[in-house]
Amino acid sequence: MPSPVGSWLAKVERPSGTVEIGLHFTRDGLVFLVSGAHGGGFWRSQTILWYRIREAMVDDDGNYLGYIDIEQRGEVTTGQLSSSGESRVYGADGELMRTVPIRITAVVATT
């Protein structure tokens, strides 16, 4: 399987609709949300790509509302990434609010 290292333009499909984000995977196993959302985590790839990201939720005034724990499994082919999994949404008190199925499809970002 090709490596995910580099920047990706991604569409995130969830029950409430589709949003676009930027993902960046580093050689040393880190992954970042770089546009459309902000967060970070880690990845690994052997026969399947696995990654996990924690995204902070804040309101327009910058108040902390909680976080989203994103876990995905998928594959990378030449110039494309696809994964699916679920995101667990936690409130500021750390309590699980809901679990949401997520599918991500991405293409290599060009500059």
**Contact status, residue 98 vs residue 89, Cβ threshold 8 Å:** yes
6-108: what fold?
A: Lipocalin (2.40.128)
Predicted local confidence at residue 1, as pLDDT = 75
Domain ranges within the chain, ordered by starting residue: 6-108
Task: Flag whether pLDDT at 111 surpasses 70.
Answer: no
Task: Flag whether pLDDT at 64 surpasses 70.
Answer: yes
Mean pLDDT score of the chain: 95
- Please state the pTM of the whole predicted model: 0.91
**Contact status, residue 68 vs residue 79, Cβ threshold 8 Å:** no
Which residues does 110 contact at the CB level (< 8 Å), separation at least 6?
none
CA-nearest of 13, 67, 25 to 49 is: 25
Predicted local confidence at residue 47, as pLDDT = 85
pLDDT digits (tens, 9 = 90+) for 24-58: 999 999 999 998 888 999 999 988 999 999 999 99
